[in-house]
Amino acid sequence: MSSMPPPSDEPILPPFATPTTRHEATILLAERPELYVVNGGTDAMVGVNDGRTNVAGWLSLRRVAELGRIVADEHSLVLGAGITFAEIEALLADSVPSLAAAARTVGSPQIRRAGTLGGNLATASPAADAVPPLLCCDAHVELASCDGVRRVPLEEFATGPKRTVRRPDELITAVHLHALGGFDAFAKVGTRNAMVISVCSIAARLDPASGVARVAIGSAAPTVRRVHDAEPALLDPGAADAFAAEVVRGASPIDDARASATYRRHALGVLARRTHARLWRTAGEVAA
């Protein structure tokens, strides 16, 4: 005789869809727009646990193997949205050192093994650590839906804190980077040395031979932003102070629990001067 299972105190979990292909994932999202997209869950679960996020059902991207790929050729690098910070650290240290360095500063080893590139972009946090290095690579965000695929310049992707141009039926599927050459660097100031969201951050790229200069700042404005006006001074080895002044002028930080706007401006200036010196030192060592 069969017996009924004993009553359980476990909460009933909302439905959990686990597509294994990108195609299947976009169809599911079109058919069931109420599903909450999740990958590593490192950001999503914070909202669920403190009651801010109500979830009617999950669409997990964890098993979509295509999103975990990195494809490189001579001119470009395509990073799947599902690659984790741990993978970025391990696999991109030679090709995009600034991105690997940024990944190394994210959360704890557990967060880095679960948290993904796509999740970092989707949150549109002004403190998202992957974004400054990617802005310095002229990155484009690939968005896919049942209607097709489009690419948006990363500089136009976030429109404000937690706001992006992504439509609800679109998934972030990849990030496309140009091979710009030269040297890059990332630096971050936090309230302690590890497990910390940035007080401010900077990434920069310099290629004196081809005249490429890029700089982007994090936690210093409503979105991570590139500071175009500072870039000419990055090309001048004697202009560290002018570079720092322009970087600070390009910021619009706020006072919050992590730091005051005044401290953020000061710290950005220090980071900018150090980054300028570091990139020119590297350029000199390589030329010697």
Ligand X SMILES: Cc1cc2nc3c(=O)[nH]c(=O)nc-3n(C[C@H](O)[C@H](O)[C@H](O)COP(=O)(O)OP(=O)(O)OC[C@H]3O[C@@H](n4cnc5c(N)ncnc54)[C@H](O)[C@@H]3O)c2cc1C
Q: How far is the CB of 164 from ligand X (least distance, A)?
A: 9
Which of 87, 89, 129, 231 is in the footprint of ligand X by CB under 6 A?
129
In the bound state with ligand X, the residue whose beta carbon lies nearer, of 103 and 233, is 103
In the bound state with ligand X, the residue whose beta carbon lies nearer, of 38 and 202, is 38
Query: Rounded distance, CA 286 to CA 76, Å?
Result: 23
Residue 219 touches ligand X, criterion: CB under 6 A: no
Q: x/- contact string, 88-117, with ligand X (CB under 6 A)?
A: -----------------xxx---x--xxx-
**N- to C-terminal Cα separation, the chain:** 84
Q: x/- contact string, 30-69, with ligand X (CB under 6 A)?
A: ------xxxxxxxxx-x--------------x--------
Q: How far is the CB of 46 from ligand X (least distance, A)?
A: 5
Cα separations in angstroms, 179 against 38, 96, 110, 183, 231: 30, 9, 30, 11, 18
Cα separations in angstroms, 186 against 7, 32, 260, 279: 54, 39, 22, 10
Q: Which residues contact 165 (CB under 8 A, 6 or more apart)?
A: 152, 156, 157, 159
Residue with tokens 């193997």: 65
In the bound state with ligand X, the residue whose beta carbon lies nearer, of 153 and 181, is 153
In the bound state with ligand X, the residue whose beta carbon lies nearer, of 114 and 247, is 114
SS (H, E, C) 108-149: CHHHHHHCEHHHHHHCCCCCCCCHHHHHCCCCEEEEEECCEE
In the bound state with ligand X, the residue whose beta carbon lies nearer, of 43 and 246, is 43
Does residue 73 sit in helix, strand or coil?
A: coil
* Chain residues in the site for ligand X (CB under 6 A): 36-44, 46, 61, 81, 105-107, 111, 114-116, 118-120, 122-123, 127-129, 171-172, 197
